[in-house]
Amino acid sequence: MDSEYFKKIITTAILLILLVLSFLILKPILLSIIMGLIMAMVFSPAYDWIHRKTKLKSVALILICLFLILIIVLPFWFLLPIFVKQSFEIYVAAQKIDFVDVFTKIFPSLNAEEFTSQFGSVFSGFVTRSLNSFVTSVSGILLNFPIIFLHLVVVFATFFFVLKDKDEILNYLKGLMPFSKDVERKLFQSSTDITLSVVYGQVVIGVIQGLIAGLGFLIFGVPNMIFLTLIAVLAGILPIVGPTIIWIPVVIYLLIAGNGFAAAGVTFFGIISAVIDNILRPFFVSKSAKMHPLLSLTGMIGGFLFFGILGFIIGPLILAYVIIILEIYRGKELQGFFLKAPES
């Protein structure tokens, strides 16, 4: 009996050591693995549809992977040099702007010269520090490109093999869980619903909103439009914020420059980007679980501060998964304040 107990202790200790070592090995690429898992979950319906049509798993995998390369790798490869160039141009141009004069033109009724001067100086310092931090981050991307490439390899490898062997992986995970079959079903269904809701409801719609605003920048000749479009896309992903905080300053810049026609055109596309949310959101997420904007916003900001750019997706998902598990543990359906079940 003592011998069996001793063997269990040794086995448990070895298992714990191996788990810790495994975590340390995977820690540098953990976010890449998670990103690959999320992408596999998002593209799984498209993969299943192609598989049903072609009856060939290999063809479905190749088509999905080629599509992913087209929408992620190629834009990154071709647009990154232009984006870097334009970000440096904006940084240099911002150093030459007299913000005191700008605020005087925007608010001519303010006669308080001292107030305008102080506010302009504070705003100038804020813009300079923000752009300096941004340019430093862009430079870091270029310097760390080999590391970024390795992360992309992990993302695509995870995506490919999870999509290829998803049934086996799901059965394995279910075998590890201490829940009943009904709880397992609710857990996986709720997790899938909320993941699709975040990706489609926030990320996809935010990207579309930013691109519509960027189309206005392109048509009406706004300088450094690629840089501004990317920032508009990032702002569109954030709930409540939206690309409005990008295109309104652009309109003000155009008005100060005396280009009223371009300002009106950018405003038109900006309004479309704001209205399109009400049109697309029911189409994308009417059948998915819904996340309260407060949970989504705090998750994105907290995730960004902790994980970096991927935190915009991972942050709200982590908070949502915690609430899902708590609700299932309580034996409740997703009808609470923060999460609601999909419409039937």
CA distance 299 to 304: 8
Expressed as residue numbers, the domain containing 122 is: 30-176
Question: What is the tens place of the pLDDT at every residue in 191-218?
Answer: 777 777 777 777 788 888 899 999 999 9
Has residue 162 been placed in a domain? Answer: yes
Mean pLDDT, the chain, rounded, equals 78
Number of domains in the chain: 1
Predicted TM-score (pTM) of the model is 0.68
Residue 246 lies in a domain: no
Residue 96 lies in a domain: yes
CB atoms within 10 A of CB 27: 9
DSSP tag of 7: H
Nearest to 262 by CA among 206, 223, 211, 228: 223
The torsion angles phi and psi of 290, rounded to 5 degrees, stand at -110, 140
Q: Is 290 domain-assigned?
A: no
- 6-18: pLDDT as tens digits: 778 888 888 899 9
Is pLDDT larger for residue 290 or for residue 217?
A: 217
Q: What is the pLDDT of residues 317-335, one digit of tens each?
A: 888 778 777 777 666 555 5
| In the predicted structure, residue 282 carries a pLDDT above the cut 70 | no
- 208 in any annotated domain: no
Helices (H) and strands (E) in the chain, counts: 15, 2
Q: How many residues would you count in the chain?
A: 344
Is pLDDT above 70 for 297? yes
Tell me if 46 is assigned to some domain.
yes
Q: Which helix (H) or strand (E) holds 333?
A: none
Q: Tell me how far CA of residue 50 lies from CA of 46, 53, 64, 66, 159, in angstroms.
A: 6, 5, 9, 13, 16
Within a domain: 59: yes
Pairing type for strands 290-291 and 339-340 reads antiparallel
